[in-house]
Amino acid sequence: MSVVESWSLGEPAAPSQQSLLALSWLNFLLSGMQTAFGPIAAACRAIQGWTAKDIGFALTIGGTASLVSQVPGGALVDAVRAKRLLVATGVVTVALSVLIFRLWPSFPLVALAEVLQGLTGGVLGPTVVAITLGLVGRSRLAERLARNQRFSAAGGVAVTLTMALVAYSESPCAMFVPAALAVPVLVSLSQIRGGEIDFARASGAEPADAEGPQRASYAALLKNRRLLIFAACAALFRSPMHP
């Protein structure tokens, strides 16, 4: 049965338990990895004797890169069929950024790491949501997103406590926790069956557009006054005054 026929009959998505369980673990581990990034970056700079001015400037670079990546990142997520590959690329990028902080702490390389990590902000979260939508469909999206959030919150708490215990023991291994988490994140990602992620659903297509999802043009976005006001507020929030 084709995608269009399936949608017209209103049949719900039926992903395997393996994919759903892997999605839960992906949210748990990915949240832990992202939660650990900020404290590790700050700790590395403090150990290396950076001034508050340099730290604030580096944080501003990363925040600006994250803000700029939102719209093109969303467009990329919609356009790319290999959603899992996008997540894998983002995970490796975050791990590489952590290694740069720890092993090559010169300002140009740290700035590059901040930009790379910031750019993943416009890809990782939206791609996980797209994978979720592609697996379960719109009718079960709200329920599944709530479950994703529960696992994300639990992952953030678990990794924070683990890092605190490792840091309390004065072990240098604490600095590499985010990079080490990349391995189980990628393992969880690989357990989500790519064939169960419907591209049309994952792109938010209506049933009539299932074979070729329609996307809004950038001109249409620029004419949306509410969206522009929101973007301006977000830019002010992430300005250098709020590193």
User: Per-residue pLDDT tens for 168-217?
Assistant: 665 666 667 778 888 999 999 999 998 899 888 887 765 545 455 555 55
Question: How far, in Å, CA of 228 to CA of 198, rounded?
Answer: 31
Residue 149 is assigned to a structural domain of this protein: yes
User: Does residue 113 sit within a domain?
Assistant: yes
The answer as to whether 7 is a domain residue is no
Higher pLDDT, 81 or 212: 81
Higher pLDDT, 228 or 144: 144
Entry pTM: 0.77
Please check the confidence at residue 71 and state whether its pLDDT lies above 70.
yes
Flag whether 9 is in a domain: no
Q: DSSP string of 52-89?
A: HHHHHHHHHHHHHHHHHTHHHHHHHHHH-S-HHHHHHH
CA count, 13 A, side-chain hemisphere, 196: 18
The overall average pLDDT reported for the chain is 79
Has residue 3 got a pLDDT over 80? no
Q: Is residue 54's pLDDT more than 90? A: no
Which DSSP category does 197 fall into?
A: S
How many DSSP H helices and E strands does the chain contain?
Answer: 12, 0
In a domain, 8, yes or no: no
Q: What is the CATH number of the domain that holds 66?
A: 1.20.1250.20
- Let me know: does 130 contact 77? Beta carbons within 8 Å: yes
Tell me which residue range forms the domain holding 222: 16-237
d(C-alpha 229, C-alpha 1), whole Å: 44
- Structurally, the chain folds into a number of domains equal to 1
What confidence tier does 241 reach under pLDDT thresholds 50, 70, 90? Answer: very low
Mean pLDDT of 14-19: 88
4 in a structural domain: no
Does 142 have pLDDT greater than 50? yes
Q: 137 or 62: which carries more pLDDT confidence? A: 137
Sign of CA dihedral 101, 105, 107, 108: negative
Across the range 91-108, mean pLDDT stands at 83
CA distances 204 to 62, 92, 132, 228, Å, are 29, 27, 11, 22
- Residue 3 maps to a domain: no
Token code pair at residue 81: 């069929």
User: Is residue 30 situated within a structural domain?
Assistant: yes
